[in-house]
Amino acid sequence: MDPNRLHSAGATGVPAEPPAVDRDRRVRWSGEMLVSALETAIALFAPNVSSINALNVFPVPDGDTGTNMYHTLQAALGGARNVGAGDGLQAGQVLAGAAHGALMGARGNSGVILYQILAGLAERAQDVASLDGRILAAGLRRAAELAYGAVLDPVEGTMLTVIRTAAEGAELAVQPDADLTVVLDGAYEAAAGALRRTPEMLDILRQAGVVDAGGSGLVVLLDGLRRFSAGVTIQAPTNQVEETPDSASMTFLDQVELSHGGDGFGYCTNFLVTGDSIPLETFRAEVSALGTSAVIVGELSAVKVHLHTGNPGTVLEAALRYGELHQVRIDNMSAQTRRLLDERAAGGPTARPRIEPGIGIVTVANGSGLIAALRGLGASEVVPGGPTLNPSTEDLLRAVEAVPASRVILLPNDGNIIPTARQVVRLTDKVVSVVPSRTIPQGISALSAFNFDADLARNTEEMTGALEWVRSLAVGRASRDASINGVTVRSGEFIGLLDGELCAAGDDALQVVLDLLAQVEPEQAELVTIFIGEPAGPDLGARVTAVLHESYPDLAVEVSAGGQPHYDLIISVE
């Protein structure tokens, strides 16, 4: 796929000679101009989200890189805007605000890497009034270093290659008389060239016939920035990029419990404080003492507060001593939370088990049956999420803070959520340990290994070891034709994934299941658990059970309604 086709539509080309009124933005950007540049880049990014999502390597309808990057960029823009406004706004301040916003809103691998990129730019632009080409090049170099450092096992042919090459292109473009636009052009051209070469570096991309999705998003972002520098106006889309349809399955009560835990009485108080040299630790200690479920994060110039309190007026008065208040929102959660929790108790099982007061467990799943299974095994909080619905850093942080325990184990249950989960560790005063589960079956296996009598370190070790006890199978429909790992797939066929790798395909779902099982030595398995998803036909569970009993009469098989989107079946083999 030609990366230039990805983002050329919907915007005019870069003019050879920009208007005189735009000449200043060619040379350097003030803080206010930087905010406008981000707005322009996001306006170009929005109509490309679906195209970037479609670059998913596997032919399943769960590509979400574009969505993750878009929402992370929106969070970055919000962070930049929160810093303030006006002609005196410094570029360094705006980049610091954007980096912080991206951190709190980061989703998936691409979102975390995007945060690292903005953090690198902010680091090199610290205390800088305006951004010029030289600082941009240095910032991109630092961004590449941080991005590579954020990935445990960096792989070339990915978003990492694109940001590194962009930094190299920017550095080559830096000359004594080079303005910002020249450096941006150098970064963009180098990044676009690297993107075109990603299939040469990563065989899985070559087999799928696509370029790297995260790298594509980065190229679109750079293109939007250079277009702003050259004086191009891009109309913001009239329709917002929405969450995937899966988000509709998140009931209001689940969201309330996720954000507010068991203390849903009183007032949920949210606001931003801006000021000069806010003593963050002193501020946090004073304000957090006035309520519960405190999430207080920020820097010297801006602090974001989330707090539950019986007296929000007292909280706001205390905060006013440190600076100006913005984005004040106060919600009375008591009556609604009580009523909804009573309804849940009346219509379903008794209160779900919680691991307290010692160690809490936060995990991630999408689908009512999967959520119920995880809660039944002792999960304190289940964050709605999974493929196409990656929770943000703040989503996970809120769940961790809502757990009534000072030590928390975090189970992401998706490889794309693991980097986001690791960001939470340094954002909370609680001791958080990430057990890197990549699938729902791994998460269930890890939960089964939890020992109430063991400490955090021992449980982390045992639960991590339990990830190897299980093989994870998934069966769904192919969203396009593909040939990967020697498996040829036609759009609409059933495909089978084994531990995340495409291993089988065909017209018959039952045969795909048997083909997958044949690769995991089912004769040695003790138990097969099947979770039926939303796309499955009404009798698929019964038919799979029958064929497994016929093929493997000694194998114990359990079937449950998972309710997960995208995949007809998720199968755990222990």
Contact partners, residue 53, CB within 8 Å, separation at least 6: 63, 64, 65, 66, 67, 213
Could you tell me if residue 523 is inside a domain? yes
50 lies in a domain? yes
Which stretch of DSSP H or E encloses residue 325?
strand 324-332
What CATH number should be reported for the domain holding residue 306?
3.30.70.1150
> Domain boundary at 449, 469, 489, which?
469
Residues 455 and 484 in one domain: no
67 and 182: one domain? yes
| DSSP structural state of residue 557 | E
Which residue, among 202, 204, 207, has the nearest Cα to 155 in the 3D structure? 202
Q: What's the pLDDT at 189? A: 93
Report if residue 525 sits inside a domain.
Answer: yes
Written as one letter, the residue type at 2 is D
CATH number for the domain that contains residue 57:
1.25.40.340
Together in a domain, 481 and 548: yes
The answer for 231, left when phi > 0, alpha when psi is -120 to 50, beta otherwise, is: left
Q: What is the mean pLDDT for each group of 10 consecutive residues in the chain (574 residues)?
A: 47 42 77 92 88 72 77 92 79 93 82 88 91 93 88 82 94 85 93 90 81 92 91 67 38 35 56 84 86 62 72 90 82 49 44 52 90 83 85 90 90 92 91 95 89 86 92 90 86 91 92 92 82 86 88 84 89 90
What is the reported pLDDT for 348?
Answer: 41
Of 284, 301, 332, at which residue does a domain stop?
332
Q: Which positions ≥6 away from 60 have C-beta within 8 Å?
A: 387, 476, 477, 478, 479, 495, 497, 566, 567
Given this model, what pLDDT does residue 1 score? 44
Same domain for 426 and 306: no
Residues 460 and 540 in one domain: no
In a domain, 245, yes or no: no
The answer to whether residues 92 and 140 belong to one domain is yes
Residues 538, 568: contact at Cβ < 8 Å?
no
Q: Examine the domain organization and report whether 522 and 403 are in the same domain.
A: no
Q: Are residues 306 and 367 in the same domain?
A: no
Strands (E) in 256-317, as ranges, are 267-274, 292-298, 302-309
| Domain of residue 536, residue span | 474-573
User: Looking at the domain assignment, is residue 531 inside a domain?
Assistant: yes
Question: Does residue 338 form part of some domain?
Answer: no
Q: Are residues 298 and 375 in the same domain?
A: no
Beta bridge partners of 131: 29
What tokens appear for 557 in the block?
């098989």
Domain shared by 75 and 215, yes or no: yes
For the chain, how many structural domains are there in total? Answer: 4
Same domain (yes/no): 58, 112: yes
CA distance 481 to 501: 16
Burial class, 290, CB count within 10 angstroms (exposed 0-12 / middle 13-18 / buried 19+): buried
Give the CATH number, domain containing residue 389.
3.40.50.510
Q: Which of 431, 451, 469 is the last residue of a domain?
A: 469
Look at residue 216 and tell me if it is in a domain: yes
State whether 386 and 328 are in the same domain.
no
Q: Report if residue 511 sits inside a domain.
A: yes
